[in-house]
Chains A and B, each alone.
Chain A
Amino acid sequence: MAERIRGRVAPPAESAKPVAWSRAFEGAAFALRTAATALVLLVALDTAFLAFFPTFPRLADNFSPAYLAREARQLAASRPVVVLGDSVLWGYRLPVGDAAVTQLRARDPRWVNLAYEGGSTANTYAMLRILDHAGVVPRAVVFNVNLKEFNSADSAYDKLYPGVERLAWPLLDAADRGKLERVEAQTVDARLNAGVESIWQLYAMRSDLREALFADQDAAHALQDAFEGWNGTAARKAEAHRPTPDKFEGTYDLSPLDDSNTGVYFLRRTAGFLRAAHVPAYAILTPANHKLLHDYIDVPEYRAQLSFVTKLLGTYGVRVLDYDRTFAPAEFLDNDHLTPAGNVHLARLLGRDVAL
């Protein structure tokens, strides 16, 4: 009985090996076919994604370096009027259609809005280097100079937007890098992530994809925003976020400007780069809400900073569009961001002042 059971449970040793090998081969073939299927599907999806993913009228809130690189490659085939700068030109808190550059683009598709929240002179210079590296030859470059960004306390004073930093860092020289504080993590994890992004476009542009699908950084935030809109939290937050003069104390540093200021350093680099490239350049002195900011900026030191910037730009042949006092208080949302009517006004001015 014991022999019979042993015989049934344990097959003869000479036949066990071929069966085990056969199973191992079957398993390997299954895994290989699975991986090949996944790979073929991923390549096909990535190709379709790159071909059909839209180009936004302005950069997304959280645009990726892959998206920016793709847009730069597309722009290399044309002679665009490139708008660089900060949230004022991006169209802060407004639907994309209300932004001044979108209005200009509706009339003339050569206008391209590459401004973004968190812009500064350092970011403008970095963006120019990225475009140059991609072979973009702009018909003209329009950028804004916002004096609040010459304040070392400003969040973009010496920091690049993460996606811009990724692309621009290898293009900057040692002196440029020395002026900047690096934002992107340099961990093994981050390098591996960047490695995957370099070969998988859909993954690399996941933040843009989510923005396109949910109009937010991800599905969870979109759901939270919808809920807060429904239960009134969003309205309460907006009410508490009203701009009053006290909230802008410390926004502007009115110390005399010189080349030790990182904002000045990159403004000079920007103007010098544009002159060397023979690109017509226009610098907007950012509109300021003098009624709201009266206590802080209606002083000789503020005017001295404007004069300094204007003179610096003039030496490089950059045409200065002084819109500092051009807008009425009612055209502002806060200290410098414009209402829809303010953006209509800005579009009209740019259409008049930028010669194409």
Chain B
Amino acid sequence: MVVPGAVDVRTVLRLDPIYRLAGSALTSPYVLGAVLVALALGAIVFGPSSESRFIYTDF
């Protein structure tokens, strides 16, 4: 139902490109593959450090 005068949230927040990407990711294996790689890279770069570290203690 279209309410007269109502604002389309997707337009205001400019979400359409994200919807389009999500839509094509679900239908295109190539886009989905690229999205998965991007997510993995994001997790590696911005994720917490969990590797074995030497904790240097001076005094």
B residues in contact with A337, CB < 8 Å: 58
Cβ-defined contact, B59 with A207, below 8 A: no
B residues in contact with A209, CB < 8 Å: 44-45
B residues in contact with A42, CB < 8 Å: 37, 40
Cβ-defined contact, B59 with A335, below 8 A: yes
Cβ-defined contact, B45 with A213, below 8 A: yes
Q: A150 within 8 Å of B by Cβ? A: no
Considering only CB atoms and an 8 Å cut-off, how many residues of chain A contact the other chain?
48
Return A340 CB to nearest CB of chain B, in Å: 17
Return A82 CB to nearest CB of chain B, in Å: 20
Q: B20 within 8 Å of A by Cβ? A: no
Return A195 CB to nearest CB of chain B, in Å: 14
Q: A272 within 8 Å of B by Cβ? A: no
Q: A326 within 8 Å of B by Cβ? A: no
Cβ-defined contact, B44 with A206, below 8 A: yes
Return B41 CB to nearest CB of chain A, in Å: 7
Contact A251-B54, Cβ < 8 Å, known A36-B33, A37-B29: no
Which single member of B44, B48, B52 contacts A202 (CB below 8 Å)?
Answer: B44
Which single member of A156, A183, A202, A243 contacts B59 (CB below 8 Å)?
Answer: A243
Cβ-defined contact, B56 with A118, below 8 A: yes
Q: B21 within 8 Å of A by Cβ? A: no
Return A175 CB to nearest CB of chain B, in Å: 23
How far apart sit A185 and B52, CA to CA, in the bound complex (Å)?
8
Cβ-defined contact, A218 with B47, below 8 A: yes
Q: 3 tightest A-B contacts by CB? A: A37-B33, A33-B29, A162-B52
B residues in contact with A40, CB < 8 Å: 33
Q: A215 within 8 Å of B by Cβ? A: no
A–B complex contacts, Cβ < 8 Å, 18 sampled:
A33-B33, A34-B30, A34-B32, A37-B32, A38-B33, A38-B36, A40-B33, A87-B56, A87-B58, A118-B56, A162-B54, A183-B54, A190-B52, A202-B44, A209-B44, A213-B45, A218-B48, A220-B48
**What is the interface of chain A, defined by CB distance below 8 A to chain B?**
30-38, 40-42, 45, 62, 64, 87, 92, 117-118, 155-156, 159, 161-163, 183-185, 190, 202-203, 206-207, 209-210, 213, 217-221, 243, 247-248, 251, 334-335, 337
Return B56 CB to nearest CB of chain A, in Å: 4
Which single member of B37, B53, B56 contacts A162 (CB below 8 Å)?
Answer: B53
Contact A247-B59, Cβ < 8 Å, known A33-B29, A42-B37, A183-B52: yes
Cβ-defined contact, A37 with B45, below 8 A: no
Which residues, 12 to 59 on B, are CB-close (under 8 Å) to A?
29-30, 32-34, 36-37, 40-41, 44-49, 51-59
Cβ-defined contact, B33 with A35, below 8 A: yes
Cβ-defined contact, B51 with A64, below 8 A: yes
* In the complex, residue of chain B having the shortest beta-carbon distance to the beta carbon of A159: B54
* In the complex, residue of chain A having the shortest beta-carbon distance to the beta carbon of B53: A62
Cβ-defined contact, B49 with A38, below 8 A: no
Cβ-defined contact, A207 with B33, below 8 A: no
Return B29 CB to nearest CB of chain A, in Å: 3
* In the complex, residue of chain A having the shortest beta-carbon distance to the beta carbon of B51: A207
How far apart sit A155 and B56, CA to CA, in the bound complex (Å)?
8
How far apart sit A242 and B36, CA to CA, in the bound complex (Å)?
48
Return A221 CB to nearest CB of chain B, in Å: 7
A residues in contact with B54, CB < 8 Å: 62, 117-118, 155-156, 159, 161-162, 183
Considering residues A45, A163, A206, A209, which has the most beta carbons from chain B within 10 angstroms of its beta carbon?
A206
